[in-house]
Chains A and B, each alone.
Chain A
Amino acid sequence: MAPISYHLILSGILFTIGVMGVLLRRNTIIIFMAIELMLNAVNLSFVALARHLGSMDGQLIVLFVMAVAAAEAAVGLAIILMVFRNKETINADELKLMRW
């Protein structure tokens, strides 16, 4: 069995890749996908920890995270769609109507 810290490190790396995706890409859909990547990285932690602790709680949480992710996807994509309709762009750095 691979030690739990291996799983946690892998999850940390995936999480950070997601974070960097949020920072590096200007297309908000891809930013959103990077956020999904972060959530998946956390799910990996949950499942690995559940296995490690021998408790089902971690797996149940992942189930709810999936539900939340689905809800977020629906709302988030609707927001992106709405912005695209009104502004013809979904690039993060072109959405600076309000600042300072």
Chain B
Amino acid sequence: MEHAHATAQALSLSLSVSYLRYIPLFPLLGVLFNIFLGHRLGRKAVNIVSPGMVFLSFLVSLHAFWNLPEGGRLVDTMWLWISSGTLHVDFALQVDQLSAMMILVVTGVGFLIHVYSTGYMAHDHDVARYFAYLNLFTASMLLLVLGENLLLLFVGWEGVGLCSYLLIGFWYTDDEKASAGKKAFIVNRVGDAGFLLGLFLLFWTLGESNVWTLSFSTIQQHIAAVPAEVATVICLLLFVGAAGKSAQIPLYVWLPDAMAGPTPVSALIHAATMVTAGIYMIARLNFLYALSPTALSVVATVGAATAFFAATIGLVQTDIKKVLAYSTVSQLGYMFLALGVGAYTAGVFHLMTHAFFKALLFLGAGSVIHGMSDEQDITKMGGLKSKMPVTFWTFFIACLAIAGVPGLSGFFSKDLILEEAYASPLGSPMLWLVGTIGAGMTAFYMFRLLFVTFFGENRASHEVQHHIHESPASMTVPLAILAVLSIVGGYFPLLHFLSPLFGEHHEPHVAPLIKYLPTVVGLGGIALAYVMYVLNPAIADNMARGLSAFHKLLFNKYYIDEIYDAVIVRPIVGMSNWLWKVWDAIVIDGTVNGAAHTMEANGSLLRLWQNGNVQNYALSFLIGAMAILGYYLW
């Protein structure tokens, strides 16, 4: 009831403004600038204009945020886009509470990433093109979240997909390029097909009751006209699209490939743009998903499964960016888990906090890679703590945040998700349990990454060691700002702020065990990582006395390693190998490439038809004529 009330209120208050258009327009101008003038005006101009454009749209976003009416929205209708008969689609942008949060994150984090890039790409020869992509990425994402209708959302949707494809293909060497690009592209197109089919089905279903519209507010007004079983199909189709963009099982495979791009781009993809599109879309269409508990439970299950499996894969990766990539997949799983149990607020909350600390993690990783002369393998790092202090401390804060250490942003959002997973009418103890184990693994692998990278002895070659240096200010300042955001992000009153859309937030009532266990498990994971990667070699005795539960297991290095190997590593390596190699390589690659092969085989078969002989063509005519006449005969 409350929800419905809030909805009505949101619709009643739409303020018409005309400045929202500048939010995506500025980055778009940046794209044009970079394409046409970038090379001529040189690196300095590019370095100023590209982040500057994003900063301008950040300012406009702030303005929109301050002027957002209580419980209402801002609408900027630019022109009538598509118009025919009864169908009208406006080229219109809107800012409501959800969009306001999204644009602030996209432009804010995006701006920091742009600034960081000026330092990171200082030695690249084609910086204009790089910033053109980065600006285009930002502009598309802004269009996606600002769009007032599904079609405009789709414009941004395709835009970010296209950008990711350009970047993936652009940075690969020729050999890998073909298959990686192909994979990313096909996966994204599968998702897009799902999205479009869902869109048309929704369009048609509403049309049955004579409402031909794609505008979110109008759809919401007439949502009652959609029967529940049709809603399920629409929601599932749209979820296929969301899973493609937001890298959920089984469509997550493209995301690790996107690691091939420069690290700041990864940060942009993982934190602020692209992967959050699916979450945003489902949150935006919450009124539609509310019609179908079946679809929601699919979303929740897929989310929980992805959160868990991606975490297991993260445990064994040694490439610093791959660890972060799988961690993104896993965290997105949490967000879908939240959406699936109807806790939209919690999901969006986690989206925001994740944006801060994941951007920070990637930029920190970039700083490490930068300092380590483009080395990405963590087994060849170590001991960077003293050599790159700013990077270390900010990275440390990010790890604390993602591990869910109390007081930091990640703690609040993840905790809320898990509580909702347990307590919500759509939730279940199973979802909570899977999520909690995943949280433990997250803490473990993040700190494993931290310890192996920054602690102990440096294992790199002397030449690389010699060059290790802290990054320039253009890179460390964004790191520091993001670190602050990662700490305080949890204290923003987002839950209340979003209430006009998702209803007033109520703290779920759960038993203390349920409430605190995830945090304990998370801390346990950190402790385990600490023990295994820092303490273990030197102070095994102390451990044995201090940690009674583990003392036997950790008594002796060999013994620990054996246990680690037998209990944790082997099953998990086995599982993740199975998941990663078998599932990923055979099932996903197999079906994707198989589909491509089938297509090509069919294409070759059809080519036989085209054998060049004009008389075979005439025969084809004859067969066609016969068939049509046969149709009438019949």
Contact = CB atoms under 8 A, between A and B. Distances in A.
Touch between chains A and B, by CB atoms below 8 Å: yes
B612 A22 contact: no
Nearest to B625: A19
A22 B612 CA distance: 15
A71 B615 CA distance: 23
Nearest to B604: A100
A23 B612 CA distance: 14
B618 A22 contact: yes
Contacts of B612: 95-100
A26 interface: yes
Contacts of B622: 19, 23
B621 to A, nearest CB: 8
A73 B286 CA distance: 68
A31 B621 CA distance: 15
20 contacts: A19-B618, A19-B622, A22-B618, A23-B615, A23-B618, A28-B614, A31-B614, A92-B614, A95-B612, A95-B614, A96-B611, A96-B613, A98-B612, A99-B607, A99-B610, A99-B611, A99-B612, A99-B613, A100-B610, A100-B611
A22 B614 CA distance: 9
B513 interface: no
A88 interface: no
B1 interface: no
B549 interface: no
Nearest to A99: B612
A99 B612 CA distance: 4
Interface residues of B, number: 10
Interface of A: 19, 22-23, 26, 28, 31, 92-93, 95-100
Interface of B: 607, 610-615, 618-619, 622
Contacts of B615: 22-23, 26, 31, 92-93
Contacts of A31: 614-615
Nearest to B606: A100
Q: Give the dominant DSSP class at B's interface.
A: helix
Nearest to B619: A23
A15 to B, nearest CB: 10
Contacts, number: 34
In this complex, the member of B610, B611, B614 whose beta carbon has the largest number of chain A beta carbons within 10 angstroms is B614
Contacts of A92: 613-615
A72 to B, nearest CB: 16
A82 to B, nearest CB: 16
A93 B619 contact: no
A83 B633 CA distance: 41
State the 9 A-B residue pairs at the shortest beta-carbon distance, nearest first: A99-B612, A96-B612, A100-B607, A92-B614, A22-B618, A93-B613, A92-B615, A100-B610, A99-B611
A54 to B, nearest CB: 28
A23 B614 CA distance: 9
Contacts of A19: 618, 622
Contacts of B610: 99-100
Nearest to B608: A100
Nearest to A96: B612
Contacts of A93: 613, 615
Given A23-B615, A96-B612, A99-B607, 18 more contacts: A19-B618, A22-B615, A23-B619, A23-B622, A26-B615, A28-B614, A31-B615, A92-B613, A92-B614, A92-B615, A93-B613, A95-B614, A96-B611, A96-B613, A97-B612, A100-B610, A100-B611, A100-B612
Contacts of B611: 96, 99-100
A19 B612 CA distance: 19
B256 to A, nearest CB: 37
Nearest to A26: B615
Nearest to A98: B612
Nearest to A25: B615
A99 B607 CA distance: 8
B617 to A, nearest CB: 10
Contacts of B607: 99-100
A98 B610 CA distance: 9
Contacts of B618: 19, 22-23
Nearest to A94: B613
Contacts of A97: 612
A93 B622 CA distance: 18
B624 to A, nearest CB: 12
B264 to A, nearest CB: 45
In this complex, the member of B610, B611, B613, B619 whose beta carbon has the largest number of chain A beta carbons within 10 angstroms is B613
Nearest to B618: A22
Nearest to B614: A92
Nearest to A24: B615
Nearest to A97: B612
A22 B620 CA distance: 12
A40 B612 CA distance: 28
In this complex, the member of A19, A96, A99 whose beta carbon has the largest number of chain B beta carbons within 10 angstroms is A99
Nearest to A95: B614
Contacts of B613: 92-93, 95-96, 99
